[in-house]
Amino acid sequence: MNLRILKKLSKRAAPLLPLLGDDRKQFRSAKHDNYHGCYITARKHFERGRSVHADLIIQGEIKNPAADGRGWIYMHPPSHPRKGTIMVGAVSGYYEPEWDEECAWSALCQLVHWHFIDIDDEGEPRPTRRLFYPSEVFAAARDMITEIK
């Protein structure tokens, strides 16, 4: 998945969330201001730069020696969504409330995933429905909405 696809999926997922009981605030992300909470695997969209350290800091980070011999060239998955991606967020916590946000697509995936999971006798989660592709997630969400009504 890349950031463009994430933005489109979030736009499709946003109207379904209130129908499924997600009452968090929906808003559009600003450039370099929000965190989407997804792992983007398309290397074309990785953030790139130069570092003097060889240590890997971020999940999925790739470092190679620079061609000029000074430092390292790093690539890591983007942590910010594209400007305008639909996000959902709310304040959570009691003693120290914090703002928690994610993209609408991640929120829908979590709701649908945990609705179609059964826990077996050993405590292992067993999916009751196939949810590999976005079309399957949206179909399952529509089925959940018809169950609610």
Whether 57 shows a pLDDT value over 90: the answer reads no
Query: What pLDDT was estimated at residue 51?
Result: 86
CA-based angle 97:99:104, to the nearest 5?
Answer: 140
Q: Over the chain, what is the mean pLDDT? A: 89
- Distance of alpha carbon 36 from alpha carbon 128, whole angstroms: 27
- Distance of alpha carbon 127 from alpha carbon 55, whole angstroms: 38
Mean pLDDT of 2-6: 89
Whether 67 shows a pLDDT value over 80: the answer reads yes
Query: What pLDDT was estimated at residue 70?
Result: 87
Mean pLDDT of 41-57: 82
CA nearest neighbour of 114 among 101, 102, 131, 100: 131
Q: Are 10 and 103 in contact (CB under 8 A)?
A: yes
For the chain, give every domain's residue range. 3-38+81-148, 41-77
Report the percentage of the chain scoring pLDDT > 90. 50
pTM: 0.82
Q: What is the pLDDT of residues 99-140, one digit of tens each?
A: 889 999 999 999 999 999 998 888 898 989 999 999 999 999
Give the C-alpha distances (Å, rounded to integers) separating 77 from 22, 55, 84, 109, 133: 28, 16, 19, 20, 21
Query: What pLDDT was estimated at residue 114?
Result: 93
